[in-house]
Amino acid sequence: MPLNRRKFLEKSAVTGAGVALASAVGAPAAQAAEAGKGKKPAKRYSLTVMGTTDLHGHVFNWDYFKDAEYSDAKGNAQGLSRISTLVNQVRAEKGRCNTLLLDAGDTIQGTPLTYYYAKVDPITAPGGPVHPMAAAMNAIGYDAVALGNHEFNYGIETLRKFEEQCDFPLLGANALDAKTLKPAFPPYFIKKFHVPGAPPVKVAVLGLTNPGIAIWDKAYVEGKLKFPGLEEQAAKWVPKLRSMGADVVVVSAHSGSSGTSSYGDQLPYVENSAALVAQQVPGIDAILVGHAHVEIPELKVTNTATGKTVVLSEPLAYAERLSLFDIELVFEKGKWTVESVASSVLNSNSVADDPKITKLLKDDHDVVVEYVNQVVGTATQTLTTVEARYKDAPIIDLITKVQEDVVKAALASTEYASLPVIAQASPFSRTSEIPAGDVTIRDLSSLYVYDNTLVAKLLTGAQIRAYLEYSAQYFVQTAADAVVDVEKLTNANNRPDYNYDYVSGVSYDIDIAQAAGSRIKNVTYNGAALDDAQQFVFAVNNYRANGGGAFPHVASAKELWSESTEIRTRIAEWVTAKGVLNPADFASVDWKLTRNGTPVF
């Protein structure tokens, strides 16, 4: 899809890629203070930068999968309607003219609400709706938003339409046009804050996104966009912003602070590099961190070149927190200097919904609630993911069965029709349940929470064995005589549940008494020992197929087929066609945990 260069060039002129935006704001929170006896008082100015990240379509404190108000054991609340209330409170306290509101990305994917307006009633259709996230963020008054990797999940056309509907720029200094290597989105945004009796304070916001987009959404961006590293692009742009007179430089980065990558060495750029940017690139005052879904009220990083402290903060995802950066400046020797930066987070559970946002988006919300509660079949028994991360659960077998059937049908008239089809799936959720009785779209959506699509790859038996071995690293090594605590059995080395895969169609044991790399035992296919040379069609989600999780062989394997329909939709279609959801039609015991050959459960 074209990148609409004309639109970018027009928009960049008002978002800072060409001419800085001067905002006529009201009376600032500047205060006079004595700089010393006999001297004029130094001018001071207080600026508050507010930030959210990883909103993932959460407008209200509502769980579409449970058809109820969201709640968790920690008492958290979610939704932009809560954030709006917090923002209003901060603006009332600080003065709206002394605040800036930013986001660090992952906005338009993550709930049935965002899926509905991307796929069911798409914003890209002629005369289509305004995206609820655009409507909410416009109403709240966001100043700028960094691109997240999930912004690309529905393709460039949907992203560009969302961008068109926003009253604020979508920033991505390291989202480059693949042909020209120039920014395909505005790299930065500049705003002036006026101070009586002194020059205005010029604040620059640099937006950086995640290099992993090149892997995770390869189908949409390959040949169109490139995503170099955050450190590299920050080093290019921060000096430019300073040379343009920026007194304060804030980075909004869709990148965690850990310095790690989930994609191994598939890319030469770090996935979670926010702290590295702070450490390596001089001239940054604060970084709004995203992507990692962790709460960081305040993290101080010392820049190695200047010795200056850079303050980082990451608010919890889903609009559960709002980060605040309180920045104090002083005007001395003809220029503004940042004197101090401190950050903290506000909790969305401390306030009520903003009725303005509730009223604005109630109709959109109600439409989606009706949609997800459609009945598509009947289940003969309750299926749950509660034990799915350490036992072969029938509810995960449903996913692999659907993937196998779709791929078999797709390859039926091809040269690969005679090859055996096997499939992978991950236990995404620990709380998903399909109850006995009526099965709704929301029940099935809670099982498959991501908008992944299906790909068929060609792998050998040896490659499947290596894939299983890599997946088995998910388990904590547990001696044969040790007490098994299921809460401590998984997520070794902090590997998330979504990076543990079942593989159906072959049978195998995972011996968790053994060291990682030597755990896969007794692998069979059709009752016989697995032939390392045999070829298999591997039905796999696009995230994994493109290298997500750095599983071996799959990203480089030959692709036989792929499609753009979500696996979640395929599951709903399969259940609708069957009418009755009976485990006898899809459940199989393909794997089990053992210790020195003895089953754990």
Q: What is the pLDDT of residue 131?
A: 98
Q: Rounded to whole angstroms, how far apart are CA atoms 194 and 405?
A: 63
pLDDT tens digits, 518-535:
999 999 999 999 999 999
| pTM, full prediction | 0.84
DSSP count for the chain of H helices, then E strands: 15, 32
Whether the Cβ atoms of residue 426 and residue 508 lie closer than 8 Å to each other = no
pLDDT tens digits, 185-235:
999 999 999 999 999 999 999 999 999 999 999 889 999 999 999 999 999
Q: What is the pLDDT of residue 565?
A: 86
> Crossing angle, helix 80-94 and helix 355-372, to 10 degrees?
170
Give the chain's end-to-end CA distance (angstroms, integer). 51
> Crossing angle, helix 156-165 and helix 132-140, to 10 degrees?
30
| DSSP strand pairing (433-434 vs 383-384) | antiparallel
Query: Rounded to 5 degrees, what angle do the CA atoms 531, 536, 539 make?
Result: 140
pLDDT tens digits, 297-356:
999 999 999 999 999 999 999 999 999 999 999 999 999 999 999 999 999 999 999 999
Q: What is the pLDDT of residue 12?
A: 39
| Burial call 149-161: b when 16+ CB within 10 Å, e when fewer | bbbbbbbbebbbb
Q: What is the pLDDT of residue 494?
A: 94
Which pair of structure tokens corresponds to residue 540?
């796999």
Q: Rounded to whole angstroms, how far apart are CA atoms 573 and 495?
A: 31
- Report the amino acid identity of residue 526: N
Q: What is the pLDDT of residue 38?
A: 56
Q: Which residues pair with 330 in a beta bridge?
A: 44, 337
Q: What is the pLDDT of residue 16?
A: 40
C-alpha separations of 210 from 26, 171, 173, 217, 227 in Å: 36, 12, 11, 11, 7
Q: What is the pLDDT of residue 42?
A: 86
For every residue of 259-275, DSSP letters joined together read: ---TTTTSSSS-SS-HH
Q: What is the pLDDT of residue 266?
A: 86
Q: What is the pLDDT of residue 41?
A: 80
List of the chain residues with pLDDT < 50: 1-36
